[in-house]
Each structure stands twice: as C-alpha cells, then as structure tokens.
Amino acid sequence: MQYLPRLRRSVGHQQQNRPDDVLRVKTALNQIGHYDVGKYGLGTGADETLVSAIRQYQRQRGLKADGQMHPGGPTERDIESALQDPKLDIATRTPTYRCIICGAPHAGLHGRICPQCWGKLNS
C-alpha cells in the first residue's frame, strides 16, 4: 500500500512548489501528525508553515533539515516509511473517514484521502 503520492518536482524552501506537489506533501505530513489541517487548512501554497513543518520533521528524523523535499529523496522516502508504520491510526481502517481535502466520507483505503482526491493527486 502506497500512502504518499510521488512528487513530480521538488517542494519546500526555494523549490518549484507545484500546487499538486505541495498538496501531496501537506497531506502526507498531516497524516503523520506534522501538519495541522484544522488551523492552517490544506491549501496549495508553499508557505513558511509548510517549510517549517518539513524542517521539523527532518530534524526529528535525523535528516538534513533544509526544508526541502525532492522526488525520490531521503525525506520523501522517510515519510513514505513513516506512513506505513502499522502503529499509525490510518492503518487501522475504521469503516468511515472524512477526506481531509474535500470532506467526503470514505473507507480509508488511501489513508485520510478519499479515492477521488487520491486519483486527482496521482493523475
């Protein structure tokens, strides 16, 4: 099971920050408790909050804290493995979740994102 839609381009401090990539990173960080959806929302802008969240995650995991994520890079790979941690609540598969992007109820097949939004992120 893959939980982190792969980045197309780099995200973070002084990177390309494609809106769809930014949303991928925010969604992934939110699912592992490193990005607060309630307070900041999951917009497509790469603001200082996102860069800080990436840096904080990198520091905590012993990665280079440059606030950047690159396709196939160490931070993306580390987040991918964190998302697959069986202790994470998204892996418990309760019948209904609310999609953190559109709010639709869904079965948690792709973590907290509904299949429709997952499809958009992967298209």
Residues near Zn ion, by CB under 5 A: 99, 101-102, 104, 114, 117
CB 17 within 8 A of CB 115: no
Tell the smallest beta-carbon distance from residue 110 to Zn ion (Å). Answer: 10
Tell the smallest beta-carbon distance from residue 117 to Zn ion (Å). Answer: 3
Work out whether the CA dihedral 75, 68, 3, 9 comes out positive or negative.
negative
Among the listed residues 32, 117, 1, 15, the one whose alpha carbon sits nearest the alpha carbon of residue 73: 15
**Tokens at 117, concatenated:** 């939004």
Q: Quick one: 57 or 97, whose CB is closer to Zn ion?
A: 97
Q: Quick one: 16 or 109, whose CB is closer to Zn ion?
A: 109
Tell the smallest beta-carbon distance from residue 100 to Zn ion (Å). Answer: 8
